[in-house]
Amino acid sequence: MSPTTVLITGATDGLGRWLALRLAASGVGVVLHGRNPARLDETAREIRAEGGREPVGVVRADLADLRQVDRLADEVLDRFPGLDVLVNNAAVGFGEPGGGRELSPDGVELRFAVNYLAGYHLTRRLLPALVAAAPARIVNVASIGQAPIDFADPMLDHGYDGYRAYRQSKLAQIMFTLDLADELNGTGVTANTLHPATLMATSMVREAELTPLSTLHDGGEATLRLIADPELADISGVYFDQTMAAAPHAQALDPDARRRLRELSELLVAQALARPS
């Protein structure tokens, strides 16, 4: 596969930035997403300085706010009616040691909101552009760190822990990916997810005061494989630990749990989009 247009969320730092630079260097038309205009400009300048293809688009939104996610989807659909690859990469990490529970502007636990719900809503909105460009791919950057969702307390009102919040949001991503693969069967659009590498050298890892164990190159190469490797053209609905197919947490394989997550997601999105301005 030789993708021509790839949207990367969280393209101004860490893995997203690595992917943007590498794809642009190979001539791919990258759509950069970020929330900070200065960092978006800096990433575009770095692409130019390294001789990469000029980004075909720069889009800005705070993924913690589902109304901004909605506006982002509108902009992408208008400017890029055919989208070859969507990489849901943007994420909030574990947080600072001892950090407390945080909420998004929509009142959703922050890690669930950014790491999962934003990608859920953005992907569902962008499906027409992906189907129009088929063969196309959806790549969800998850984690080997996965925690089951307690549907009696999905927003972690009780016993909050940043690690648990992060891991729960990443399992939700995997569950969504498996559902998407089933839904998109026969459309030419595949959906896969991966743990790119363990504790890459990113600002997220530094914020948590953890020692990096992997490089951005390690995680980047594994993610790039899902974006462009022609051998994966017909592979969908798979969770990869780097480059190896792996079994996710058992809850991801439970159809009833995935149904409950879909229902919760639709409810949270509907409530967010209906709230007063």
pTM of the entire predicted model: 0.94
- Dist. CA 251–CA 236, nearest whole Å: 19
* The pairing of beta strand 239-241 with beta strand 57-60: unpaired
Nearest to 135 by CA among 186, 194, 174: 186
Q: Tokens 């007063």, residue?
A: 276
Per DSSP, the chain holds a count of helices (H) and strands (E) of 9, 8
Map out the domains of the chain with their CATH numbers.
5-274 (3.40.50.720)
Distance CA 5, CA 17 (A): 16
pLDDT digits (tens, 9 = 90+) for 99-122: 789 999 999 999 999 999 999 999
Query: Over 60: is that where the pLDDT of 1 sits?
Result: no
What pLDDT is attached to residue 200? 60
Give CA torsion, residues 17, 22, 27, 29, to 10 deg.
-20
Give, for 17, the enclosing helix (H) or strand (E). helix 14-25
- pLDDT tens digits along 37-85: 999 999 999 999 999 999 999 999 999 999 999 999 999 999 999 999 9
Mean pLDDT of 142-155: 97
Tokens for 148?
Answer: 């089951």
User: In whole angstroms, what is the distance from residue 9 CA to residue 121 CA?
Assistant: 13
Instruction: Give the pLDDT band of residue 128 (cuts 50, 70, 90).
Output: very high
Residue 198: both structure tokens together: 């363990």
- Phi and psi torsions of 184, nearest 5°: -95, 5
Q: What are phi and psi of 60, to 5 degrees?
A: -125, 135
pLDDT digits (tens, 9 = 90+) for 249-269: 999 999 999 999 999 999 999
* Active site amino acids: 166
Q: 84: closest CA among 32, 123, 121, 137?
A: 137
